[in-house]
Amino acid sequence: MIELYYWPTPNGHKISIFLEEAELEYQIYPIDIRVGAQFEPDFLKIAPNNRMPAIIDRAPLDAGQPISVFESGAILQYLAEKTGKFLSTNLRDRTVVMEWLFWQMGGLGPMAGQNHHFAQYAPEKIPYAIDRYVKETNRLYGVLNRQLEGKEYIAGDYSIADMACYPWVLLYERQQQNIEEFPNLKVWLDKIRDRPAVIRAYQQAEAFAGQPTITEESKKILFGQTAKNS
Ligand SMILES: N[C@@H](CCC(=O)N[C@@H](CS)C(=O)NCC(=O)O)C(=O)O
């Protein structure tokens, strides 16, 4: 049984997609980041960066004590290695998957995240910041669009690289991107959107629907964290 510490955000969706795709038994433990659940001492024991998602695997492959994992990329890799799914064991194929997984973790995720922040949440609309992150998101979409040329999925076969990128590219409108500029991305998005496991993963998120993601009160919790108050 996998315990998934989750809130319905792009990084959360990555893991529910994997769990649904691999048909692993799991249970969701909501971490309501709007009210500061990410700072609960028990959560910080498994996720010291006060961010979700995180997992606890109660039945690890070595049959030892439960294993906890934080950071969505590390979780995807852990689950892929546990199940032998969505990450090739062939050296060359695996290397490509890991390149694109790290590309998402270090590039697309943080840049699109800042894009959301400055365009939607920042109390001041700072044109330089908005422009920088919209352009950088655009550049990254171009990179992924080129990678997808002549391929069904990012690394050839469907993999954890696709699961990492999909929930972020799905929000292209919020990121002020015109998907028509990226025809390969558009086809890829549609293909993943139609996968039954992806549909099920997003249905899980519907249980949280109707709750505003970011309220004025939650902005105080989410933005302006420092070493002292986190
Ligand atoms: N690099 C981390 C990022 C996770 C992350 O940013 N999670 C956000 C929601 S998408 C969060 O928990 N925010 C809580 C906060 O900012 O305090 C990962 O991929 O797991």
Enumerate the CATH 3.40.30.10 domain ranges in the chain, comma separated: 2-85+200-222
- Ligand 1 center–CA 187 separation, angstroms: 28
- Ligand 1 center–CA 149 separation, angstroms: 30
CA distances from 6 to 71, 95, 152, 217 (A): 12, 28, 29, 20
Ligand 1 surroundings by CB, under 6 angstroms: 9, 11, 33, 38, 50-53, 71-72, 222
Buried b (16+ CB within 10 A) or exposed e, 102-119: ebbbebbbebbbbbbbbb
Per-residue pLDDT of 129-181, as tens digits, reads 999 999 999 999 999 999 999 999 999 999 999 999 999 999 999 999 999 99
Q: Is the pLDDT of residue 119 over 80?
A: yes
Query: Class assignment of domain 91-194?
Result: mainly alpha
- Ligand 1 center–CA 110 separation, angstroms: 10
Exposed, middle or buried by CB within 10 Å (0-12, 13-18, 19+), for 222?
Answer: middle
% of residues, the chain, pLDDT over 90 = 89
**How much of the chain is in helix, strand and coil states, percent to nearest 5?**
55, 10, 35
Beta strand 67-70 pairing with 54-57: antiparallel
Enumerate the CATH 1.20.1050.10 domain ranges in the chain, comma separated: 91-194
Full DSSP string of 40-79: -HHHHHH-TTS-S-EEEESS-TTSSS-EEEESHHHHHHHH
- Ligand 1 center–CA 73 separation, angstroms: 12
Among 78, 144, 156, 146, smallest CA distance to 111 is for 144
Work out the number of other CB atoms within 10 angstroms of the CB of residue 124: 6
- Mean pLDDT value across the chain: 96
Q: Under CATH, what is the fold of the domain 2-85+200-222?
A: Glutaredoxin (3.40.30)
Per-residue pLDDT of 209-228, as tens digits, reads 766 667 888 898 899 899 88
Counting from 1 in the atom list of ligand 1, the atom nearest the Cα of 53 is: 20
Residue 208's pLDDT is: 83
Residue 212's pLDDT is: 60
